[in-house]
Chains A and B, each alone.
Chain A
Amino acid sequence: MATVATCGGDAVGVGSAVATASKSNVTSFQRRGPRVSGTNDSGPRLVSITGTRPSVRNGQLLVSTGLPALDQLLGGGLAVGTVLLIEEDKYNIYSSLLFKYFLAEGIVNGHTLLVASANEDPANILQELPAPLLDNCKKEFDEDVYNHKTPESNIKMKIAWRYQLLPKMEQIRPVSSSRFGHYYDASKRIPQELIEASKWHGFFLPEKISPTLKVEPCSLTHGYIKLLQFIQNIIYEEGFDGSNPQKKQKNILRIGIQNLGSPLWGDDICCTENGDSGHNLTKFLYVLRGLLRTSLSACIITMPTHLIQNKAFIAHVTNLSDTVVGLESFIGSERETNPLYKDYHGLIHIRQIPRLNNLVCDESDVKDLGFKLKRKLFTIEWVQDNYLRQERNIYPPGFSYLLKQKDSAWGEGSLQHSTFLMSFLAKATAFASRLVRHSEPLKQTGSGRIRQAAGPRLWHDGRRQEAPGLLGIPP
């Protein structure tokens, strides 16, 4: 077996691929392992940690986010050493649910948790985690799926046939032997014994800093500094970064930070328009990512970006994070009554997927995704354009070729694509129909002095005129 780049002081990341382009005569054998550049002597052994699996694309170690549907959209899962940033929905209902799924997945897999919050005690957060769906609930799960199956899903489409070729997002049934990605019942609480059996660390901001402490100005907000020191402490002491040869940690640290950037953290980015003049949040994210890249950990952060008025700042934060997912719930918005969205609770936008160890990334082709929270499941589906699926005969013959075009540079299947197309076609046909003559030209029977066609003499601007018809031959 080839051992490449594990000897020598600085290991390249144990999961390096031995490409055929390398000079040594080895086969293109791709070793899968954790992407930790700090571990220098874990050697070429295959490291298998519960709850992780290597990515099929680049051998990156992945953990589940707690939602198998989201794992699928992110290309298999969340890469170890990266940050998942969730842009909160307006009332922080579904984003806190995703946060809890992430932590619950950690408990079920036996990972160590680190929960940081400024407004809620981490112990309370852990009490409210959803209960995992285990194998004895498999039968009820199947019944749920069959009840919700829509009858129109198997109609063959005639005009919009391209949409039939797009794969449906099937719900994966829970397999008893799978150790990656579990399903949770949002209505039940996690059993107490699971919490007690797990290892977790909590960071509750009001406990860690005292308000009367005089703080000298430094580069970051005091709360952020304390959190970074806390995280670094845990990583170092429990050996997640592999620097401690005694403590060979073979576990993942799941870090969850709730409502980062909210005023409770001492940051003013959400309050003022030109807040964050000290760039606290961006520096925090940068140093946090530096900590994560050199340790076996994955982090979820929820951020109330809808409160941030400085849009350029959101672009900075997106560039400094790895995976960014935005949630938009329909509660209280005009979309709640839109018939297109009647089955869904909100939209989910995958804003960024990182390209790690690779030139390409696994971007999903489907861009309009909606989510709904059924009794037990949080599902993510493609919001299908009902106008096209119902196949109303609104396309005059001759225009349907636009739908049958081979891969165009238009966003396929997107709502913008189809609504634009519809409105364009409607306008085009309306305009074209006015140009078409509505009657046959009359044969010349008279002297030729009749100078108008027997048709509507009403032009598009409303004036009645004598149109110079076909019979306008001067006498």
Chain B
Amino acid sequence: MASESNSAAGNQLSVSAKKSLFGESLHTELEMKALGARSAFYVGFLVGTCSLYLFLRQVGLSQSFVSRETEVHQKSLLDMIEEENKNWKKDRLALFNLNHPHHTGEDGKLADSLYKRVRILCWVMTGPDNLEKKARHVKATWSRHCNIVVFISSVDNPDFPTVGLNTKEGRDQLYWKTIRAFHYVMEKHGDEADWFLKADDDTYVIIDNLRWLLANHSPDDPVYFGRRFKPYVKQGYMSGGAGYVLSKEALKRFVEGFRTKVCTHTSSVEDLAMGQCMEKVGVVAGDSRDNLQRETFHPFVPESHLTGTFPKTFWYWNYCYYPIVQGPQCCSDLAVSFHYVDASHMYLLEYYTYHLRAFGYKYRYEPPLPNKMKDLDDPDQPEPGDVEQEAEAQDEQSPELDVKL
């Protein structure tokens, strides 16, 4: 009987014990569950923060990038169109200059005067494949200083604009293109310019300095200027790449020469053939050097001429009509042209020529006033009084007023 109650009590005990045990385990289970939930919450919080942060950064970046790009692109297109309409008139596949480019803060009176007196038509030898690569940069830089610009190609392009001259492309077509181009500009624009410049789409020309050079001559003289080479032609001929410029009389004689068959397509070497024709029709090969006998037309980039890296066996040494000078005296301060100039180099030369300068710097070389300007009353000549006062001020800086030419 006792054993029966004992076992019952044992049973009861075990049930309550079981109950409390269950309660405990339930409690710990709940505790653990709560702990798990809490940590899950924290982890979730962290994940949420980080992922949204990254998402926002990504969106922000791409948005600003996209908006900036489209902004820049839109702005540059509008700018280009605006710029072009302001300064150029497109007419008969040529560009007529409306505004002689000016720089903020400069006195361009002398340059403006020359612009009116020495009208230059620039024709640039290019092709359909080079419009975007090369001709575009010529249009954006030096050709803006010509009175008229014509881009000569094999295909008409009214947008650029280019003139198509019924030729094919290629080196063997160069003289054909040249002959046709000169005939074309004579016919369409013969009365609108005094001098006719031929340049390549990798030639950089400083038109203001060309005007200075040409203002010493008359367009009625049969003369042409460029970088003079001596072989093959008695009076020499002008390098094609460095650019050359014909007076109106020279152009008339060239066209007449082809009409009378005195000149024909003798070879595809454009500059040489040109030189041979010029000699036949009595056009003089001029000396384009400045009054210190420094060359103005250059067949290479400035770096090549200034840092003198030509090997002695190079053809150049046997070609130049005048003695070659290497180093800084190779090139006139008033240089007219350089050749083999690629796109970025065009902008570099534009920056160096028309933009970058040293404040107040007194140039060593004082170029003489050209003949055409001498018969005018020049208001730009400094008065004697001013120069003296400047000299006094500079005495402290350097004992002798060294005004070298």
* Binding partners A and B: no
Residues of A within 8 A of B (CB): none
Residues of B within 8 A of A (CB): none
